[in-house]
C-alpha cells in the first residue's frame, strides 16, 4: 500500500505476493502440462497445444496489473479509481452505492452508479454491467484486501450522501465481523496443507497416466480400469476393494480433473480451516469411499467410474452442514453467501447429473450425504468448548460411520458387467481383427483367382488344406479361448461364423481328396450354408 495518487487518499498496488500470482503460476503449470502432453501423446495434439496457448494467455492477463502504472485501487476525497476502471476516477457524486462482495473467496468492490452519471470515470471500466462497475482485489496481498475494502467504504462514508451512509454502516459492521471470523479461522489452521496434498496427489496421478501413454483428454476405459477404476464386478466378485479408493484419484481427462480441483479449492480451504487438516482428510477420504461404494449399486454396474467428485461433494456437504450448525457464530452475511452460492452449485451439479448420461450421480449423492453426516458428527476447530477427549470420541464415531457406510454398501452390492472379461476380450479382438481380415482377404483372393481361371480347382483345394484351414482354425480357437459371458454378446456369433466357414472348407477338401462321401458332404454343406446365412443376418447392423 502507498499513500498518494489521489489527493489526500490511499493507493493500493498489485504485488507479486498476491493470490493472483499463485493462480497465474498454477495456470502456467497447467499450460506446461498441456504442452508436454501435446509433445508426448499422438492423440489430441492440436487440442492440447491450443489449451496450452489459451492458458498462457490467461496467465498473461492475470499478471497484467503487476506491470501497469495504474493501482488496483485508489480512494480519496475526489472519488474511487483503479486498474479495472482504466486508471480513471469515479467522483463520489456519481456513486449511488458501494459494496464489498466475496465470490468463491475472491474480494470485489461493486460500485453502483447513480442514474445520469456522466463523468469520464463512470464511462470507464473493464468489468461493467449497466450501472455497476467492479474492482477485483485479488492482485493485492491477502492482508491488504481488508484494509483496502475498509479504506474504500470509509471514504464513501465520509463523502457519500446521508442515505448512502445508512446502508453503508450495516455493511461496515458485516465486513468487520467477516474479517474477524476469517482471522480466527486462519489462526486455528494457518496452512491448509491437507487440501494442497489432495490436489497434488490428483494432479500427479494424472501426470503419471499421461506419461504412461494414456490420452490426456480422453483416456480409454480399459486403461482406466487397469489403473484402478471402480467396477461392481471387480470389487464385489473379485474382491478388489482397493478400487473404491484408487477410482477417486483417476480422471477421465484433464478437463474432468480441472473441474473437480476447481470445485474443491474454495470449499476445501474453508473446510480445512473449520475442521482442521486431519478431519478434512477424514471427510474427504470417507466421502470419496462412500461415493464409490454407492456407485457399486448404480453406475459401476454397467460402466467403470472414476473421479474425485464424490469426495468433492462430501467437502461441499460438510461446508453446508458446518454453516448450518454454527450459523449463530458465523457472520450473517457469510451464512447467506455460503448457503446460497454453495447450495445452488450443489443443486445445479446434481440436477445436471440426473439429466445427462455418463455422469456417476450415485457417487455425488453418496459423497454429499457422507460428508454431511461426518461434518455433523465431528467437532469443528472453532468450537473451543469441546475437550480433547470429546474431539477424539467424535473422530472415532465418524471413522466407525465410514466403515459402516462403505462396508454395508459394498457387501449388499451385486456384480454387474464383467469389465475384466470385457476389456480382455476387447484387447484380444484388437489384436485378432487384423489377422481375421488377413485370413479373409487371403481366401477371397484365391477364390477369386479360381473363379477367373487363374487358379485350378486342385490348387485351390491344396491352398485350403495347407493355408486357409489352419488359419481359420487358429482364429476359431482364439475366439473360443476368450472368457464366456455377455460382455461382448456378438463374439459368440463371430466365432460361429468362422467355425461354420471352417467346416465348409473341411468338407470341400474331404470331397476332393476322396475322404468324404460326396452326396453326404453336399447335404452337410447345404445345412452349413443355411446356418451361415442365419449368422450373417444376426451380425448385420440394424437401424434405429
Cell numbers found for residue 177 = 465481523
Asked if residues 336 and 262 have their Cβ atoms less than 8 Å apart, the reply is no
Cell numbers found for residue 190 = 494457518
List, as one string, the DSSP characters of 164-229: HHHHHHHHHHHHHHHHHHHHHHHHHSS--HHHHHHHHHHHHHHHHHHHTT--SSS--HHHHHHHT-
Question: CA 385 to CA 405: how far, in whole Å?
Answer: 29
Catalytic, out of 233, 309, 419, 425? 309
Q: Could you confirm whether 74 is annotated as catalytic?
A: no
Place of cell 481380415: 437
Question: Residue 242's Cα: distance from chain center in Å?
Answer: 20
Cell numbers found for residue 108 = 470485489
Place of cell 454431511: 372
Catalytic, out of 108, 159, 364, 419? 364
Asked if residues 313 and 291 have their Cβ atoms less than 8 Å apart, the reply is yes
Cα-based distances in Å from 495 to 222, 373, 474: 23, 52, 11
**Burial (Cβ within 10 Å: 0-12, 13-18, ≥19) of residue 391:** middle
> 128-129 and 106-113: which strand pairing?
unpaired
Please state the three-class secondary structure of 80-123 as a single string: EECHHHCCCEEEHHHEEEEEEEEECCEEEEEEEECCCCCCHHHH
Asked if residues 480 and 502 have their Cβ atoms less than 8 Å apart, the reply is no
Q: Could you confirm whether 364 is annotated as catalytic?
A: yes
Find residue 11's DSSP bridge partners. 2, 74
Task: Name the residue among 327, 272, 284 with its Cα closest to residue 309.
Answer: 284
**Burial (Cβ within 10 Å: 0-12, 13-18, ≥19) of residue 45:** middle
Find residue 453's DSSP bridge partners. none
To 10 degrees, the CA torsion angle through 127, 132, 136, 142? -170
Which residues are part of the catalytic machinery?
309, 364
Amino acid at each position: 500500500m502507498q499513500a498518494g495518487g489521489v489527493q489526500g487518499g490511499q493507493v493500493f498496488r498489485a504485488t507479486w505476493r498476491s493470490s493472483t500470482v499463485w493462480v497465474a503460476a498454477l495456470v502456467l503449470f497447467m499450460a506446461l502440462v498441456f504442452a508436454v502432453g501435446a509433445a508426448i501423446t499422438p492423440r489430441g495434439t492440436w487440442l492440447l497445444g491450443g489449451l496450452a496457448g489459451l492458458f498462457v494467455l490467461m496467465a498473461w492477463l492475470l499478471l497484467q496489473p503487476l506491470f501497469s502504472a495504474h493501482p488496483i485501487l485508489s480512494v480519496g476525497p475526489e472519488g474511487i479509481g483503479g486498474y479495472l476502471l482504466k486508471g480513471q476516477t469515479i467522483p463520489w457524486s456519481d456513486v449511488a452505492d458501494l459494496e464489498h462482495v466475496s465470490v468463491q473467496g475472491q474480494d470485489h468492490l461493486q460500485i453502483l452508479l447513480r442514474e445520469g452519471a456522466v463523468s469520464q470515470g463512470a464511462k470507464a471500466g473493464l468489468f461493467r454491467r449497466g450501472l455497476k462497475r467492479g474492482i477485483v482485489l485479488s492482485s493485492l496481498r491477502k492482508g491488504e484486501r481488508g484494509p483496502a475494502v475498509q479504506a474504500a467504504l470509509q471514504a464513501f462514508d465520509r463523502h457519500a450522501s446521508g442515505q448512502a451512509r445508512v446502508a453503508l454502516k450495516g455493511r461496515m459492521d458485516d465486513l468487520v465481523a467477516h474479517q474477524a471470523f476469517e482471522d480466527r479461522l486462519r489462526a486455528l489452521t494457518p496452512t491448509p496443507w491437507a487440501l494442497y496434498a489432495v490436489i497434488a496427489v490428483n494432479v500427479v496421478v494424472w501426470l503419471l497416466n499421461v506419461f504412461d501413454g494414456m490420452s490426456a483428454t480422453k483416456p480409454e476405459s480399459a486403461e482406466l480400469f487397469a489403473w484402478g477404476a471402480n467396477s461392481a464386478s471387480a470389487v464385489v466378485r473379485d474382491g478388489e476393494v482397493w478400487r473404491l479408493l484408487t477410482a477417486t484419484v483417476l480422471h477421465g481427462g484433464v478437463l474432468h480433473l480441472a473441474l473437480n480441483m476447481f470445485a474443491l479449492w474454495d470449499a476445501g480451504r474453508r473446510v480445512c480451516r473449520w475442521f482442521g487438516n486431519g478431519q478434512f482428510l477424514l471427510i474427504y477420504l470417507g466421502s470419496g469411499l462412500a461415493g464409490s461404494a454407492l456407485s457399486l449399486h448404480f453406475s459401476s454396474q454397467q460402466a467403470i467410474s472414476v473421479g474425485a467428485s464424490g469426495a468433492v461433494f462430501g467437502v461441499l456437504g460438510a461446508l453446508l452442514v458446518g454453516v448450518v450448525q454454527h450459523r449463530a457464530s458465523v457472520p450473517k452475511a457469510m451464512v447467506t453467501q455460503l448457503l446460497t452460492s454453495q447450495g445452488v452449485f450443489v443443486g445445479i451439479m446434481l440436477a445436471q447429473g440426473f439429466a445427462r448420461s455418463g455422469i456417476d450421480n450415485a457417487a455425488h449423492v453418496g459423497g454429499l450425504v457422507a460428508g454431511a453426516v461426518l461434518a455433523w458428527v465431528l467437532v469443528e476447530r472453532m468450537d473451543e468448548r469441546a475437550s480433547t477427549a470429546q474431539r477424539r470420541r467424535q473422530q472415532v464415531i465418524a471413522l466407525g460411520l465410514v466403515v459402516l457406510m462403505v462396508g454395508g454398501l459394498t457387501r449388499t452390492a451385486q456384480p454387474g458387467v464383467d469389465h475384466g472379461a470385457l476389456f480382455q476380450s476387447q484387447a484380444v479382438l484388437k489384436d485378432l481383427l487384423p489377422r481375421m481380415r488377413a485370413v479373409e482377404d487371403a481366401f477371397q483372393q484365391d477364390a477369386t483367382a479360381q473363379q477367373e481361371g487363374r487358379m485350378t480347382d486342385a490348387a485351390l483345394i491344396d491352398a485350403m488344406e495347407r493355408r486357409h484351414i489352419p488359419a481359420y482354425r487358429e482364429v476359431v480357437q482364439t475366439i473360443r479361448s476368450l472368457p464366456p459371458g455377455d460382455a461382448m454378446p456378438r463374439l459368440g456369433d463371430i466365432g460361429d461364423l468362422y467355425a461354420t466357414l471352417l467346416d465348409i472348407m473341411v468338407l470341400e477338401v474331404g470331397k476332393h481328396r476322396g475322404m468324404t462321401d460326396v452326396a453326404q458332404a453336399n447335404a452337410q454343406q447345404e445345412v452349413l450354408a443355411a446356418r451361415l446365412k442365419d449368422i450373417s443376418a444376426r451380425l448385420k447392423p440394424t437401424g434405429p
